Amino acid sequence: MGQTRDLGRRIELHSMDPHCQDISLGLYRQIHQGRSGYLVHSYSGVGAVEGRLSAIREGLAAHAGMVPMEGQPGLLEFPCGNDHEKALRRTFLEVCKHADDEIGGALPLVRHDKKGECELTVNSEGNGRYRITAPESSENGARRIRAVARGFAKLCEMNVDETDEAVVSFACQTEHNSLMGSLFFRAQNVRSAMQEDELSAGRGVLAAPGSQDDS
């Protein structure tokens, strides 16, 4: 139990990793001097586990914009010092879906939208504020802009501008371009993302050893 407590509180679990002998991968939160640091860990002793953990950490750095936590080897944090935990949990699971050499770097802020039959763009306006845009010629663009903005609001716990539904913002007032790129696809398909959440609600009970809820 001592080792379990030292890891911090587990906030997400990838229970069977097909890219590394079906090991379980956990994401743990620790608090150091009032800031949240995150640890990727596995209890597995297979030889490939360290390489896999390193690849996942690099993936979180690229796809969530996280950086090493000063003075805490192995831990990552958001530069703004905030948690952004809901978005981080989903990004962690997305990164875990890929083999090490498929994780790649940050994803683009321009994507084709099948439902709108047009390209959508996420534009940073500074201070953690983002505007979703579509070509003026698109008939369905305005509707899809609003839908994607609401999707980001749900996935990243962002605020939708009450006077402009095309604009969403982070409460920390800090840019998170990598996080926006990583979850762009999910924001376009937020209903499917919510259904995945419901289906995986019991995933946390699969991990061992010990429960992390009270650690």
Q: 7 and 83, same structural domain?
A: yes
Average pLDDT over residues 45-51: 94
Rounded to an integer, the average pLDDT of 33-43 is 96
Residue 89 CA, chain-centre distance (Å), reads 5
Closest CA to 182 of 126, 109, 116, 98: 109
- pLDDT (tens digit, 9 = 90+) per residue, 149-187? 999 999 999 999 999 999 999 999 999 999 999 999 999
Task: Tally the domains of the chain.
Answer: 2
Residues 99 and 169 in one domain: no
pLDDT at 193: 65
Task: Give a yes or no: residue 44 inside a domain.
Answer: yes
Residues 9 and 94 in one domain: yes
Residue 214 lies in a domain: no
Measured CA to CA in angstroms, residue 92 lies from 8, 25, 60, 141, 187 at distances of 17, 10, 7, 30, 16
Same domain? For 70 and 93 the reply is: yes
Q: In which domain, by residue range, is 47 found?
A: 2-105
- The answer to whether residue 203 sits within a structural domain is no
22: closest CA among 41, 38, 46, 5? 46
Integer Cα distance of 72 and 29 in angstroms: 12
Say yes or no to pLDDT of 84 above 60.
yes
Q: What was the pLDDT predicted at 214?
A: 35
Q: What is the CATH number of the domain that holds 123?
A: 3.30.1360
Q: What is the pTM of this model?
A: 0.87
